[in-house]
Amino acid sequence: MKNFLTAIFIVACVIFSGCVANNNVSQTENVPDEIELVFDYTERGIFCKSKENYDEAIEWFTKALEIDPNHNNAYKLRGQCYSKLKNYELALQDFDKAIETSPFIELGEMYVERGICYAEQEKFDLAIQDYDKAIEIYSSDFVAYYQRGLCYEKLGDNEKALQDFNKAIELEPLFRRAYEARGLLYEKLGDNEKAQADLKKAKDEFNDADTYMARGASCDVEGNYEQAIEWFTKAIEFDPSAFSYRMRGKCHGDLGKFDLALQDYNKAIEVSTDNDSAYDSYIDRGICYKDQGKFDLAIQDFTKALEFKPDDGFTYRCRGECYESFGDTAKAQADFAKAKELGYNG
């Protein structure tokens, strides 16, 4: 389960960091007001998008981008809206910009988003190239494996499709859509026993908490964060684990509700029962602080996470980006060098 949240954060969508962490808004006396406006416009866009009011959502994301033309998440979200409206040319332009303006820790997610856009146009070879890049950036990206498997199946390469569905399930055993896709592929291949087993598992074989977590995860992957929060809340009622709180916190963050996200991350830290869950909880809260431009608090959390995993290159990379945003080049370069030494070449 640990890989799930890490993949989601690295591959699935970190909200708002482009507008603060990269210091891309105009350097004027009104910078705080401009940052607040970017957050406000983006949150309004997310709300409209959640209600499937894509035209109005596009207007809000465009307003955010007029203030901060390097706000990678606004490009991603606006691109998703254009895709829903089947305006793929504009969608691809936005995903290209999202890739161009993203920091490394969010880059894999942007390649997945562009890959999905290509796949919707049946440009499966181009989609596979983007999923390959996402997996190269983060080898535990189960969503990229799943999406790539769908493309291989469309191209008739059932062997590679099966390998990718297997890998997605190995990385995230609660990913219901991968079981469903693999079950349907087994059915196509005439292996009815395996097909029925996978389709049954996708439908009803998880225990209560895991069922709600799996449903929440599917909604999260689709960007339906409000529904995901409802499922994660039900999961918490059965099993108030650090993982459940972190997943719900992640969705609150994706909706721009940082106060609620922080409440969940605080609770995750409180109920963590081992070093791995404590590490993940501090990392997630640190990313939440980073997304709000609270780099000092983010650095504290990344430093705390290193107490649990002192040889984790990803954490050094995250902390280095915060030091860089502070203008502390020496500490930033030291952390980047340490991350590279540990094999994290972001």
Report how far residue 108's alpha carbon sits from residue 6's, in angstroms, rounded to the nearest whole number.
Answer: 12
Is there a single domain that holds both residue 148 and residue 248? Answer: no
Distances (CA, A) of 5 to 143, 215, 232: 12, 15, 13
Q: What percent of the chain has pLDDT over 90?
A: 60
Does position 19 have pLDDT exceeding 50, yes or no?
A: no
pLDDT at residue number 185: 97
Is there a single domain that holds both residue 30 and residue 66? Answer: yes
pLDDT at residue number 293: 85
The total number of structural domains in the chain stands at: 3
Token reading at 293: 């431009």
Q: Is residue 342 part of a domain?
A: no
Is there a single domain that holds both residue 126 and residue 263? Answer: no
Distances (CA, A) of 93 to 15, 97, 114: 20, 6, 10
Report how far residue 65's alpha carbon sits from residue 54's, in angstroms, rounded to the nearest whole number.
Answer: 16
Q: Is residue 59 part of a domain?
A: yes
Token reading at 200: 């049954």
From the list 131, 147, 134, 18, the residue with the least C-alpha distance to 75 is: 18
- Point out the domain boundary residue: 187, 205, 223: 205
Any idea which residue has 């292996």 for tokens?
A: 191
- Point out the domain boundary residue: 184, 205, 226: 205
The tens digit of pLDDT for each residue in 217-249 reads 878 877 788 889 999 999 998 889 999 999 999
Is there a single domain that holds both residue 92 and residue 107? Answer: yes
Which residues lie closer than 8 Å to 233 by C-beta, 6 or more apart?
Answer: 248
Is there a single domain that holds both residue 181 and residue 242? Answer: no
List the CATH number of the domain containing 41.
1.25.40.10
Is there a single domain that holds both residue 4 and residue 129? Answer: yes
pLDDT at residue number 6: 42
Concatenated DSSP letters for 185-211? Answer: HHHHTT-HHHHHHHHHHHHH-S-HHHH
Is there a single domain that holds both residue 146 and residue 74? Answer: yes
Give the residue-averaged pLDDT of 284-305. 92
Does position 113 have pLDDT exceeding 60, yes or no?
A: yes
Is there a single domain that holds both residue 185 and residue 102? Answer: no
Report how far residue 318's alpha carbon sits from residue 104's, in angstroms, rounded to the nearest whole number.
Answer: 10
Is there a single domain that holds both residue 40 and residue 104? Answer: yes
Which residues lie closer than 8 Å to 31 by C-beta, 6 or more apart?
Answer: 25
Q: Is residue 321 part of a domain?
A: no
Report how far residue 177's alpha carbon sits from residue 174's, in angstroms, rounded to the nearest whole number.
Answer: 9
Which residues lie closer than 8 Å to 161 by C-beta, 6 or more apart?
Answer: 149, 150, 152, 153, 185
pLDDT at residue number 208: 67
Does position 280 have pLDDT exceeding 80, yes or no?
A: yes
pLDDT at residue number 291: 83
* Residue 192 belongs to domain spanning: 175-205
The tens digit of pLDDT for each residue in 132-166 reads 999 998 888 999 999 999 999 999 999 999 999 99
Is there a single domain that holds both residue 73 and residue 130? Answer: yes
The tens digit of pLDDT for each residue in 36-45 reads 788 889 888 9
Is there a single domain that holds both residue 216 and residue 197? Answer: no
Q: Is residue 322 part of a domain?
A: no
Around Cβ 278, how many Cβ atoms within 10 Å? 20
When pLDDT is cut at 50, 70 and 90, the band that residue 346 belongs to is low
Q: Is residue 328 part of a domain?
A: no
Is there a single domain that holds both residue 215 and residue 293? Answer: yes
The tens digit of pLDDT for each residue in 62-88 reads 999 999 998 888 999 999 999 999 999
Does this model's pTM top 0.75? My answer is no
When pLDDT is cut at 50, 70 and 90, the band that residue 205 belongs to is low
- Point out the domain boundary residue: 205, 226, 260: 205
Give the residue-averaged pLDDT of 338-343. 90
pLDDT at residue number 207: 55
From the list 222, 254, 252, the residue with the least C-alpha distance to 236 is: 252
Give the residue-averaged pLDDT of 159-175. 93
